[in-house]
Structure 1
Amino acid sequence: MGTFKIEGGHQLKGSIKPQGAKNEALQILCAVLLTPETVIINNIPDIIDVNKLIALLKKLGVKIEKLGKGSYSFKADDVNLKYLESAEFKEDGKGLRGSIMIVGPLLGRFGKGYIPKPGGDKIGRRRLDTHFEGFINLGAKFRYNREDYFYGVEADELQGTYMLLDEASVTGTANIVMAAVLAKGQTTIYNAACEPYLQQLCKMLNRMGAKISGIGSNMLIIDGVESLGGTEHKMLPDMIEIGSWIGLAAMTKSELTIKDVSWNDLGQIPNVFRKLGITVEQQGDDIFIPAHTEGYQIQNYIDGSILTIADAPWPGFTPDLLSIVLVIATQARGEVLIHQKMFESRLFFVDKLIDMGAKIILCDPHRATVIGHDFKSQLKATTMTSPDIRAGISLLIAALSAKGTSTIHNIEQIDRGYEDIDERLRAIGAKIERVPGN
């Protein structure tokens, strides 16, 4: 188990470029299973979760060639379906949440898809019902082996239909879309997720020959086709990483430029940080954050009541950035209520921040009230363990702003979502050292 040692309290300066989007990559990589032709994907982040999925595709028989940094070609013309029933697959698939999205393309193209209960972040229940109810609506038979937590769907032929999803699940929508593009007839998916990464998937599938309309809305209409061809695709920059760097700049009073952010795909993110009092300037397709030497003031609502920041399905504010917002608020002027609606265990890392001197009242598993210090009382260094990707980066930001040297264990959780984070932070002046585990 690796460790970061962080000497906090230093101002940073310079520019940083976000990696390719992790959550988009997990969808796009699974889509290569839909065609026997070559698919080239660019701007793939070099992170643990994505590399695990690439390794899984390789074991499935996908021919993979690295073309350069972040660029790969994939050719799924000889898929090894027997691997899906092996003990090795049951072990490999458990270690990655994103592995669930191989089921849709396998079901659509080959008539069957299997997956062990996926792992990933321990942030509360993340049920799979939406995925499998969608497959059943398309005509698949579902089975579940409770003894080894193994799911399966099979169909001789998928048939297009109308479905109303019980929740706007991003991975659920992606999975159902990838099955439906090769189904017979028309499929309508209402209450579909519509975030930019899903839009990217749909646009890529259309370039491959799919017929998907309604992209960007919560109603997708898919006319099934016989087969799909190859294409080339480039990932968007990771909006969660962009939000992380905004928070880092504010907490360390640093002047930072975040390069090539794809402003049109950031949605509410810049405005939410502005509500916290952070100056977020657009310079071309970059974000410029000036040094907040005088701190930052949280806005109240127009009637003077306390600001609430809550997550919601896109175009609402992403739940993946609420942990960052919470950390930033610890040094703001004013108070804010953080309401994490979508996952019930994501706020449990706040005890680490309280240990560092933050004023936080955890109201229940979903809500925390933060009273900002206005930098009058600096957070104090401590030793902590990263429970998941987003809490991990939040604790890292807290440590970089704190007085003294902090230690963060279990940094593999951070590496799951952030590429070469220690090297990139050192390049802008951070004092961070990676200590390998035993």
Structure 2
Amino acid sequence: MKNAFEIQGGKKLKGEIIPQGAKNESLQVISAVLLTKEKVTISNVPDIVDVNKLIELLGDMGVIVERLSTDTYTFEAKDIDLDFFQSDAFKQKGGSLRGSIMIVGPLLARFGRGSIPKPGGDKIGRRRLDTHFLGFEKLGAKFNYNATDEFYNVDASNLQGTYILLDEASVTGTANIVMAAVLAKGTTTLYNAACEPYLQQLCKMLNRMGANISGIGSNLLTIEGVTELHGTEHKMLPDMIEIGSFIGLAAMTGSEITIKDVQYKELGIIPEVFKRMGIKLELRGDDIFIPAQEYYEIETFIDGSLMTISDAPWPGFTPDLLSICLVVAVQAKGSVLIHQKMFESRLFFVDKLLEMGANIILCDPHRATVIGLDKQVQLRGISMTSPDIRAGVSLLIAALSAKGKSTIYNIEQIERGYQHIDKRLQALGADIVRV
């Protein structure tokens, strides 16, 4: 029997919470340590399953990993065991972790070869890796797919800078291609590049290591290849998805919560979207303060038509927070259309919300209309299973606002992305226990 969370809902929470380091940034910047033989120090590392697995994988490859404190590590990748990539251990470990694809770019750049098992991870529809592969191929890498053991071997002994127009503005794809290109010969021009804050963080870190990347923050990156990179120190941003989740949690449970040290200027449009849903929040220094609110009302568009919240590549709204918006809308006054463009099965958790008493029409795999209950009816606690990281936290928020007991199974999905979430919520006064 695996772990589950038992939650007694309906309690108002209060207090301060510190967001963890950004999960999506950590998978990129931790992979980047492979680009140099010198020591790299990274702080604000989240203590979550996906990140710990990646750090363990680096250790297995021969990287000297030292944990200086709970959230700070040094990495020294001077002796990498390239034979490890043909081992069963790598096939099994690499295959269970989506983030393992991120080590490919740095390995190709520095050693001229790499291997990739077919990746695992979230079940949220097809998540293609074509963008990564097409980018590597344009730089001159050659792929060899072995269908029997579902394994790719890559030869990149002669990477050359080139013009690349990405078929989609994939964050991990952009990061991987940038890491491969920093040590390639000549100039790489990367258009339709993702420009998320995580990616800007990676590019700034690479530049401190001696790379030559310009256009950071835009969708057109120019990378002048260099011969080697050096050590550096890097501090990760707080996780914007956690920050958005806590804003939603405060509104849904009518709680007064302060979210500490949020790096507000890096949050983009996120605070505005929650404000459009009627949630009051104020910036105090670099903290977000959310007052206890009995009610919140979703705005309409200026012409009076139904508010639509949809995802778009940065600086648009991140798809990872749409599940949170959907659950928060359940108790709002008014209605909203949630349009999830990027992934086709991220809305499939609404059946659990319906069972709890929510008013939602699932239009198709990408769209759901939420008719807010305006806190006139309290959700009721149920037993449920978490399908993916973000839906898991949305269901957790629903359970904390519901009447009675809820049980959430498959919480390892939640813990792939949120560190010690039960303890941190207990500190705010939540009645949540691990069973």
Opposite residue 282 of structure 1, the aligned amino acid is L
Find the counterpart in structure 2 of residue 148 from structure 1. Answer: 149
Does residue 61 of structure 2 align to residue 60 of structure 1?
yes
Opposite residue 317 of structure 1, the aligned amino acid is F
Alpha-carbon separation, structure 2, partners of 1:369 and 1:32: 44
CA contact (8 A) 1:396 1:408 kept: yes
Does residue 205 of structure 2 align to residue 204 of structure 1?
yes
Alpha-carbon separation, structure 2, partners of 1:371 and 1:143: 51
Opposite residue 182 of structure 2, the aligned amino acid is V
Opposite residue 220 of structure 2, the aligned amino acid is M
CA shift for structure 1 position 87: 1.1
Give the secondary-structure state (helix, strand or coil) at the position aligned to 1:15: strand
Output the TM-score relative to the length of structure 2.
0.99
CA shift for structure 1 position 345: 0.6
Instruction: State the Cα deviation string for residues 169-211 of structure 1 (Å, max 9, x = none).
Output: 0000000000000000000000000000000000000000000
Find the counterpart in structure 1 of residue 371 from structure 2. Answer: 371
CA shift for structure 1 position 151: 1.8
Find the counterpart in structure 2 of residue 304 from structure 1. Answer: 304
Alpha-carbon separation, structure 1, partners of 2:153 and 2:237: 32
Opposite residue 338 of structure 2, the aligned amino acid is I
Instruction: State the Cα deviation string for residues 75-134 of structure 1 (Å, max 9, x = none).
Output: 000001001111110100011111101000000000011111111110010000000000
Share of identical aligned residues, percent? 72
Alignment root-mean-square deviation, CA:
0.5
Farther-moved stretch of structure 1 (110-119 vs 208-217): 110-119
| Structure 1 moving runs of 4+ over 3 Å | none
Give the secondary-structure state (helix, strand or coil) at the position aligned to 1:369: strand
Find the counterpart in structure 2 of residue 85 from structure 1. Answer: 86
Give the secondary-structure state (helix, strand or coil) at the position aligned to 1:166: coil
Pairing 1:215-254 to 2, within 5 Å after superposition: 215-254=216-255
Give the secondary-structure state (helix, strand or coil) at the position aligned to 1:193: coil
CA contact (8 A) 1:214 1:220 kept: yes
Alpha-carbon separation, structure 2, partners of 1:335 and 1:118: 38
CA shift for structure 1 position 143: 1.6
Give the secondary-structure state (helix, strand or coil) at the position aligned to 1:232: strand
Opposite residue 197 of structure 1, the aligned amino acid is Y
Alpha-carbon separation, structure 1, partners of 2:333 and 2:150: 48
CA shift for structure 1 position 149: 1.8
Opposite residue 83 of structure 1, the aligned amino acid is F
Alpha-carbon separation, structure 2, partners of 1:274 and 1:7: 28
CA shift for structure 1 position 152: 2.4
Give the secondary-structure state (helix, strand or coil) at the position aligned to 2:169: coil
Alpha-carbon separation, structure 1, partners of 2:15 and 2:384: 28
Alpha-carbon separation, structure 2, partners of 1:281 and 1:422: 26
CA contact (8 A) 1:135 1:153 kept: no
Opposite residue 327 of structure 2, the aligned amino acid is V
Find the counterpart in structure 2 of residue 402 from structure 1. Answer: 402
Find the counterpart in structure 2 of residue 7 from structure 1. Answer: 8
Alpha-carbon separation, structure 1, partners of 2:246 and 2:162: 43
Alpha-carbon separation, structure 1, partners of 2:286 and 2:419: 21
Opposite residue 272 of structure 2, the aligned amino acid is N
Pairing 1:347-358 to 2, within 5 Å after superposition: 347-358=347-358
CA shift for structure 1 position 157: 1.4
Opposite residue 345 of structure 2, the aligned amino acid is S
Alpha-carbon separation, structure 2, partners of 1:31 and 1:145: 27
Find the counterpart in structure 2 of residue 119 from structure 1. Answer: 120
Find the counterpart in structure 2 of residue 267 from structure 1. Answer: 268
Opposite residue 38 of structure 2, the aligned amino acid is E
Alpha-carbon separation, structure 1, partners of 2:147 and 2:358: 43
Instruction: State the Cα deviation string for residues 396-427 of structure 1 (Å, max 9, x = none).
Output: 00000000010000100111101110000000
Find the counterpart in structure 2 of residue 431 from structure 1. Answer: 431
Alpha-carbon separation, structure 2, partners of 1:303 and 1:248: 30
Give the secondary-structure state (helix, strand or coil) at the position aligned to 1:205: helix
Does residue 323 of structure 2 align to residue 323 of structure 1?
yes
CA shift for structure 1 position 379: 0.4
Output the TM-score relative to the length of structure 1.
0.99
Alpha-carbon separation, structure 2, partners of 1:215 and 1:386: 36
Alpha-carbon separation, structure 1, partners of 2:120 and 2:361: 30
